[in-house]
Chains A and B, each alone.
Chain A
Amino acid sequence: MIEAFGLSKRFGSIEAARDVSFVAQNGQITGLLGANGAGKSTCFRMLYGVLTPDSGRACIDGLDILGATSEARAHLGVLPHAAGLYNNLTARENIHYFGSLYGMSRQLLKSRTDELVRSLGMESFIGRRAKGFSQGQRIKVALARALVHNPGNVVLDEPTNGLDVMAIRNLREMLLDLKAQGRCVLFSSHVMQEVAALCDRVVIIGRGRVLADSTVQEIRERNGNASLEEAFLQVLGNTEGVS
Chain B
Amino acid sequence: MRPLFIVFAKEFLENLRDRRTLLSALLFGPLFGPLMFGLIISRTLEQSVLESDVPLKLTISGSHYAPGLTRYLESRGARLTRRELSENEARAAVRGGGAQIVLLVPEEYPKLFAAAKPAPLLLFADSADSQTRKIADRARNMLGIYANTVAQLRLEVRGVSPLLTVPVAVNDVDVATPTGRAVLVLGFMTYFVLFGLLMGGLYLAIDSTAGERERGSLEALLSLPVARAALVGGKVLAACAYMCISLALSLTAFVWVFRFVPLEKLGMSANLGAGTALIFFAICLPFVPVGATLMTFIASFTRSYREAQTYLTTVLLVPTLPIAFASVYSLKPTSKLMFIPSLSQHLLMTSVLKDEPIARLDILISAAASLAVALLLFTLTARHWKRETMLG
Contact = CB atoms under 8 A, between A and B. Distances in A.
Interface of A: 45, 48-52, 69-71, 73-74, 76, 78-89, 93, 97-98, 100-103, 129, 142, 145-146
Contacts, number: 76
Interface of B: 2-3, 6-7, 10, 13-14, 17-18, 215-220, 222-226, 388, 391
A78 B222 CA distance: 10
Contact of B219 (A50, A52, A76): A50
Contacts of A70: 225
A107 to B, nearest CB: 16
Contacts of B225: 69-71, 73-74, 101-103
B216 A84 contact: yes
A7 to B, nearest CB: 14
Given A84-B215, A84-B217, A86-B14, A48 B223 contact: yes
Nearest to A78: B223
Contacts of B391: 45, 50-51
13 contacts: A45-B391, A50-B222, A50-B223, A74-B225, A79-B220, A82-B217, A84-B216, A86-B10, A87-B215, A88-B17, A88-B18, A100-B6, A101-B7
Given A73-B223, A80-B219, A101-B224, 11 more contacts: A50-B223, A73-B224, A76-B223, A78-B223, A82-B218, A86-B217, A88-B14, A88-B18, A89-B13, A101-B6, A142-B220
Contacts of B7: 101
A146 B13 contact: no
Contact of B3 (A76, A81, A101, A129): A101
A87 B220 CA distance: 15
A103 B217 CA distance: 19
Contacts of B222: 50
Nearest to A146: B220
B220 A51 contact: no
A185 B329 CA distance: 68
A83 B17 contact: no
Contacts of B10: 86, 89, 93, 97
A80 B224 contact: no
B124 to A, nearest CB: 65
Given A89-B10, A89-B13, A102 B224 contact: yes
Q: Which of B225, B388, B391 has the most CB of A within 10 A?
A: B225
A81 B222 CA distance: 13
A3 B364 CA distance: 55
Given A73-B224, A101-B7, A103-B2, A52 B217 contact: no
B388 A52 contact: yes
Nearest to B15: A88
A129 B13 CA distance: 13
Nearest to A87: B215
A51 B219 CA distance: 11
B17 to A, nearest CB: 4
Contacts of A71: 225
Contact of B216 (A82, A98, A129): A82
Contacts of A101: 3, 6-7, 224-226
A51 B388 contact: yes
Contacts of B2: 103
A69 B391 CA distance: 18
Contacts of A98: 220, 224
Contacts of A84: 215-218, 220
Contacts of B219: 45, 50, 80-82
B207 to A, nearest CB: 9
